[in-house]
Amino acid sequence: MRAAILLGLMLSAATHAADPLQEAMAELQPSSLAVAEQRAELAWFAEAGKPFAGTQVRVISERIPTHWYEANVLAPLFSRLTGIRVIHEVSGEDDVVNKLRTQQETGLPLYDAYVSDSDLIGQHFRDGQVLVLSDFMAGEGATVTSPTLDLADFIGLPFVTAPDNKLYQLPDQQFVNLYWYRRDWFERPDLRKAFRQRYGYELDVPQNWSAYEDIAAFFTEQVGEIDGQRVYGHMDYGAFDPSIGWRLSDAWLGMAGVADPGLPNGLPVDDWGIRVESCRPAGASVARGGALDSPAAIYALQQYIDWLQRYAPPEAQTMSFNQAGNVAAQGHVAQQIFWYSAFTADYTLPGSPVVDADGKPKWRVAPSPRGAYWQDGMKSGYQDVGAWTLLKSTPLRQRQAAWLYAQFVTAKSVSLRKTLVGLTPIRRSDLDSPALLAEAPRLGGLVEFYRSRAARRWTPTGSNVPDYSGMASLWWRQLHPAVAGRISAAEALGNLARTFDRHLQDVGQRQQHDCAPRLNPVRDARHWLEQPGAPWPRLDNERPAGRTLPYEEALRAWD
């Protein structure tokens, strides 16, 4: 009898292990759903996938931990659950954008779905090639749209909704650029005393760029060494690489105060320096009413260059985004003004120089300091959503199968587990879950930021950019000569602004859309600088007194 019972248990265990639904339930823990709810949601995917069994879909996303987890764990799990074979490719962000653009331009069926930034929303709703998810879910995609999708639960939904109030992308992962600093160093009595004696205020979270520069100079030039290690007060990157374009276009000008007040991007001038009349881009140069070569933009670029050269490790000047991403985690950097939360996983590894013996971070993130031109009501930083994007040209069967996969990797059954792995939250229910709140102490303030009202001031590029994939590359090509010291910041931005104007004009001629670009006539720059709002005239003092606040006060100050 005992042998029969043992054999039965062994057979039951084998069946359990081979059951895709049970396998999914085991992997996808914890979940914000109750057990019965999670089982029901996963069972829906298994049933919905049956008509597509044997179908193969190809998708591509950028190279971050969240997408590696999708490619290596979730895609195979989904395939076993539904019978749909998913080939999930992971590549560089620039490569993803270029492939999406190539497929749009040539019609070649390269991929069935892309995870691309919500920065492309302005292009998507104007060019007519991206699948409008709102329409798809109500029509040809209705039978493959999960009844538990719960769009209202996605914290980044406004970023993927166009001015026509329709949904063009589905959020998959979300990250934010914040201020990062070594909390343990900032709390040392000897360093606090030395900073106060030199600068006359406290070594706390900087509220403006002047304070950030004081702190950078303090650690790089006055402190110089901590515990026998050379230390620096700033970290950034400056290689001749597409990623320097993201560094400078991703709201750096907005943080400086280049744009008009208004969320998400400032109106009528946004944080790319583009003036928009109604929904029509009207110019980037000051001569056409834009602000890309304005005094505030020149100030922003010059500050970036000066800090990189004076206060960052020397090798930072030749690093790209990916190379620089975990440098501060090596333990010799005091602060970083533009820190990508997508790298949080690298900064929480056991044994890391920036993690203590209890697994708690020695660092913390906080709202970013603001430039001299910044005014209340302006956006405060960059936050973006990597979102599922499908094209109208993809055959219906492939679109439907890919849509099932996109919903699966973002479903409530999956999203909390994926958030704990990749630390790129997308759902409010996950941010409110006991499991993520329990993890908050080891994430250095990231959860607190996302749960605060401050998070709404961090926004992506927005809908004013009508051809993101074509215009994004212009940033690094035109501005790197200034970073390399070959031309001035003013000359580089002037070149970029004029190049933008020409590009906008070309786009306006080929886009058949009510919101296609239509440029303002060229006028003397003084005309626009004398008008209310952006472009702002040059300030007499671009370096006001430094100001800091303790962490808790800094977070509340942005609510």
Would 325 be classed as within a structural domain? no
Answer yes or no: is 549 within a domain. Answer: no
How many angstroms separate the CA atoms of 63 and 43, rounded?
30
Helices and strands in the chain: count of H runs, count of E runs: 24, 14
Asked, for residue 226, whether it belongs to a domain, the answer is no
Return the pLDDT at 151: 98
CA distances from 78 to 20, 154, 278, 394 (A): 9, 21, 44, 21
- The predicted pLDDT at position 18 comes to 66
- The residue range of the domain holding 127 is 20-173+386-445
What pLDDT, on a 0 to 100 scale, did the predictor assign at position 557? 76
On whether both 167 and 89 belong to a single domain, the answer is yes
pLDDT confidence of residue 7: 34
Same domain? For 401 and 466 the reply is no
CB 196 within 8 A of CB 267: no
pLDDT digit string, tens, across residues 259-298:
999 988 999 999 999 999 989 999 999 999 999 999 999 9
Q: 124 and 259: one domain?
A: no
DSSP state of 107: -
Instruction: Report d(CA 528, CA 266) in Å as an integer.
Output: 17
pLDDT for 512: 85
Residue 83 within a domain: yes
155 and 56 housed in the same domain: yes
H-run or E-run covering 104: helix 93-106
Whole-angstrom CA distances from 213 to 13, 252, 553 are 61, 16, 20
- CATH (domain of 400): 3.40.190.10
One-character DSSP codes across 483-544: HTTSS-HHHHHHHHHHHHHHHHHHHHHH--STTS--PPPP--HHHHHTSSSSSPPPPS-SSP
Do 80 and 112 sit in the same domain of this protein? Answer: yes
How many domains, the chain?
2
In a domain, 554, yes or no: no
* 214-270 residue pLDDT tens: 999 999 999 999 999 999 999 999 999 989 998 999 999 999 999 999 988 999 999
38 assigned to some structural domain: yes
CA-based nearest residue to 248, from 298, 210, 211: 298
Same-domain status, 127 and 253: no
DSSP state of 152: G
Given a cut of 50, the residues of the chain with pLDDT beneath it are 1-17
Taking the model in full, what pTM does it have? 0.90
Give the per-residue pLDDT at 559: 62
List the structure tokens of 411.
């479903």
Residue 558: per-residue pLDDT: 66
- Mean of the per-residue pLDDT values of the chain: 93
Asked if residue 70 belongs to a domain, the reply is yes
Are 45 and 151 contained in the same domain?
yes
Q: Are residues 164 and 26 in the same domain?
A: yes
Asked if residue 7 is part of any domain, the answer here is no
Structure confidence at residue 456 (pLDDT): 87
| Cα→Cα distances 203→218, 235, 250, 279, Å | 10, 18, 27, 44
H helix intervals, 317-439: 321-324, 396-410, 412-422, 428-431, 434-439
Same domain flag for 158 and 26:
yes
Verify that 128 and 38 share a domain, yes or no: yes
| Paired tokens of 13 | 């265990």
* Residue 496 near residue 290 (C-beta atoms within 8 A): no
Q: 401 and 281, same structural domain?
A: no
Same domain, 286 and 428: no
